[in-house]
Amino acid sequence: MHFKLLIALVEDDKTSAVLDAARSAGATGATVLNQARGEGVEQTKTFFGLSLETQRDMVMFLVEEHLSRHILEEIEKQGEFDARPGTGIAFQIDVEDAVGVAHQMRELVEAVEEEI
């Protein structure tokens, strides 16, 4: 079984919705890192040196490769990444090897067989 790592940088008020959407699309878990910062094409505005940007969370999902694109699309919809500029991004990276996921394999086998 091969995996992809999905990484989403999400506005913190949308993190729960993104997690729910990913789980509904087949993700079996996630890791959330709070208070990430980023900067896009437009520089962030400041007021007396204080940043006026919204907080972001980094959400990481280790998912089976056949499910990854569908999960990525659901994350995008919930995060409104393409609909509203500056709301966040999500991308996937190939994973060469993973350990500690044997307990998820049984669940994933059924889901992947349906996709193939």
Taking alpha carbons only, the member of 7, 86, 11, 84 closest to residue 43 is 86
**pLDDT score of 89 more than 90:** yes
pLDDT for 36 equals 81
Instruction: Write down the pTM of the prediction.
Output: 0.80
pLDDT (mean) for 75-92? 92
The third-level CATH classification (topology) of the domain covering 3-115 is Alpha-Beta Plaits (3.30.70)
pLDDT tens digit sequence for 11-45:
989 999 999 999 999 998 999 999 887 666 666 56
Residue spans of the domains in the chain: they are 3-115
SS3 2: coil
- Tell me the H-state helices in 28-101: 65-79
